[in-house]
């Protein structure tokens, strides 16, 4: 076994692990502020490694959503990972068994996928495992530190951490929305739909989980119809 591949993967994933620590710190602090135990928040991060899915899941947990609403919401939010995993499988330079595939699929986040696809050489199991080691460590430790810090902070500060989620989403959405019109339209559609579910009396009866799924699917469908991705046809020379 070429352990140099694993070491190189760990080195490549170091910046991602550091970034995950800072983001998951906010998740841990916010989870505790919402009444969740520090251990429970840490276990969520240890077994998930998905920022958008975890924040949406926390919202559903606080809203006492049903298990089916949780499953459907996570399926919609994380559906992109299926396509990303298919792309990774085409880059693997060796046949791998079921267990290594499960670990690689678990580590397959947006940032790890980008790093893996940027590599020119064929992907190996050890490289992919090394690439995901520090991100999962940083994500879990960040959540634990954030949860512990949130547990000892004054109630006023813990309550203020409740707006951290919205600040994170704004920081993620606003920059690309300024650059691309289709993203801006998707954000505006989602905002309008969310407002309807919050203010229209009949729609207020819809649970939080179902409303999140409906807003996501409708906004994505409208933007897919308005801005279809053109397939690039390579002419054989």
**pLDDT over 70, % of the chain:** 87
Which of 119-132 are b and which e, b meaning 16 or more Cβ less than 10 Å from the residue's Cβ? Answer: beeebbbbbbbbbb
Q: What percent of the chain has pLDDT over 90?
A: 21
pLDDT of 130 strictly over 90 = yes
Least confident of 143-152, 172-181, 225-234: 225-234
* pLDDT for position 143: 93
Distance, in Å, from the CA atom of 229 to the CA atom of 4, rounded to the nearest integer, reads 39
Output the average pLDDT for the chain: 83
pLDDT digits (tens, 9 = 90+) for 79-117: 878 878 888 888 886 678 888 888 888 988 888 888 888
What is the predicted pLDDT for the residue at 139? 93
pLDDT at residue 154 above 80? no
Calpha distance 105→227 (Å, rounded): 29
Statement: residue 136 has pLDDT above 80: yes
Q: Which of 19-33, 83-97, 128-142 has the highest mean pLDDT?
A: 128-142
DSSP letters, 101-121, are HHHHHHH--HHHHHHHHH-SS
The pLDDT tens digits for 156-175 are 766 666 565 566 567 667 88
Domain coordinates of the chain in residue numbers?
3-163, 180-227
């Amino acid at each position: 076994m070429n352990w140099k591949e694993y070491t190189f993967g760990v080195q490549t994933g170091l910046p991602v692990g550091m970034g995950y620590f800072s983001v998951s710190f906010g998740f841990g602090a916010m989870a505790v502020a919402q009444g969740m135990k520090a251990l429970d928040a840490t276990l969520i991060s240890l077994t998930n490694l998905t920022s958008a899915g975890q924040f949406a899941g926390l919202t559903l947990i606080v809203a006492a959503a049903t298990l089916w609403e949780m499953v459907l919401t996570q399926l919609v939010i994380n559906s992109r990972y299926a396509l990303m995993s298919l792309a990774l499988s085409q880059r693997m330079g060796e046949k791998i068994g079921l267990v290594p595939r499960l670990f690689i699929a678990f580590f397959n986040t947006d940032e790890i996928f980008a790093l893996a696809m940027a590599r020119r050489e064929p992907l190996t199991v050890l490289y992919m495992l090394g690439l995901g080691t520090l991100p999962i460590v940083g994500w879990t430790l960040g959540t634990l530190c954030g949860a512990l810090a949130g547990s000892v902070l004054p109630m006023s500060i813990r309550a203020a951490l409740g707006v951290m989620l919205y600040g994170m989403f704004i920081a993620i959405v606003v920059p690309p929305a300024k650059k691309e019109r289709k993203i801006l339209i998707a954000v505006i559609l989602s905002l309008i739909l969310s407002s309807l579910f919050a203010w229209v009396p009949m729609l207020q009866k819809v649970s939080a989980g179902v409303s999140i799924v409906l807003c996501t699917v409708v906004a994505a469908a409208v933007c897919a119809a308005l801005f279809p991705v053109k397939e690039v046809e390579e002419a054989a020379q």
